[in-house]
Amino acid sequence: MQARFVLLPGDGIGPEVTAEARKVLTAVATLHRHEFSFEEKPMGGIAIDEFGDPLPASTVVACRAADAVILGAVGGPKWDDPTAKTRPEAGLLAIRQELGLFANLRPVKPNRHLIEASPLRPELVEGTDILFVRELTGGIYFGPSGVSDDGRSAFSTMVYSVGEVERIVRIAAEAARSRKGHLTSVDKANVLEVSRLWRRVAAKVMEEEYPDVHYEVVLVDAMAMHLIARPRDFDVVVTGNMFGDILTDEASMLPGSLGLLPSASLGDPGPGLYEPIHGSAPDIAGRGIANPLATILASAMALRHSLGLEAEALSVEAAVDSALNDGLRTVDIAAGAKGVSTVAMGDAVVARIN
């Protein structure tokens, strides 16, 4: 297979971890006789510095022509001026719109070799395997917003259409059907009118199109508690943009490190965008100690969802598991011991693929 990857290294540790993902993808291509090409493009703070735009037009053009896009991370103190007209994070919202990426898939599955790293008791975390499906291009982040002329009030509006709810619920239901057959929809229908629409539309889709999938509804505040008290009870969870943003960050702590969790943002048609859930970590940038595993696992998601290479994706995931089983740890998961470097962890995964 021939496939084109666009790499958006971004800021902070982004270039370091995307370099390791590229190394792993190259090893996969060599072993399985694929032809993968890679092109790096600027995005985030580095793009602001060079082009005055966190998402230059040339980057958008390259991404649209790609089969998959791998993103590192964006942002940092250098660009945190609240008076700035543009910030690195604006590039994230823009690329989602430009590529039509309406569905964010975030798996939360603590690694069996690192259960002790979780802040929760092992018996609560062990066996957790949740796939969050977050709507990504609607809701309060994209609704009408503004500030009054005198600056004394502001507003942000949560808006969803029937079509937006239908398509994200279908993505989640299909995923649930291929997993344990259990879908949980999260809303705030006891307070928000937009959530009442969400609940009506989701229930109709599930009743008419997915009667074989067990379906339940949970209010967002209750879900926040359930994730800590009984995370093993959930399979696929679907929710809107803001609720999904908050809940997935909460769930990311179940494995004990942000350095282990990947995500995929998908649309139809066009390439998917794959990234680690962690930030740019400017405090450790350039020190060679960042954990590349989340980005490497994101590349496995790219192989699976954008290229349809399931066996190759599984081989990457198995290589990561093997490296952890053999005791390799970067500093964030080393529990006080000396960890291996970013490059050494990437090399270990490559060795186990080969």
Catalytic pick among 49, 249, 268, 283: 249
Catalytic pick among 78, 109, 204, 245: 245
Tell me the C-alpha to C-alpha distance, in Å, between residue 253 and each of 62, 119, 153, 161, 332: 34, 7, 34, 32, 13
* Structure tokens, 297: 């696992």
Catalytic residue status for 249? yes
Widest CA span of the chain, in angstroms? Answer: 63
Contact 212, 244 (CB under 8 A): no
Catalytic residue status for 245? yes
- Torsion sign across C-alpha atoms 341, 346, 352, 354: negative
Catalytic residue status for 221? yes
Catalytic residue status for 283? no
Catalytic pick among 129, 141, 180, 204: 141
User: What single-letter DSSP state applies at residue 13?
Assistant: T
**CA separation for the pair 204, 195 (Å, rounded):** 14
**CA separation for the pair 275, 72 (Å, rounded):** 6
Catalytic pick among 188, 215, 274, 332: 188
Cβ contacts of residue 35 below 8 Å, gap of 6+?
1, 2, 3, 29
Catalytic pick among 80, 221, 233, 283: 221
- Residues serving a catalytic function are 141, 188, 221, 245, 249
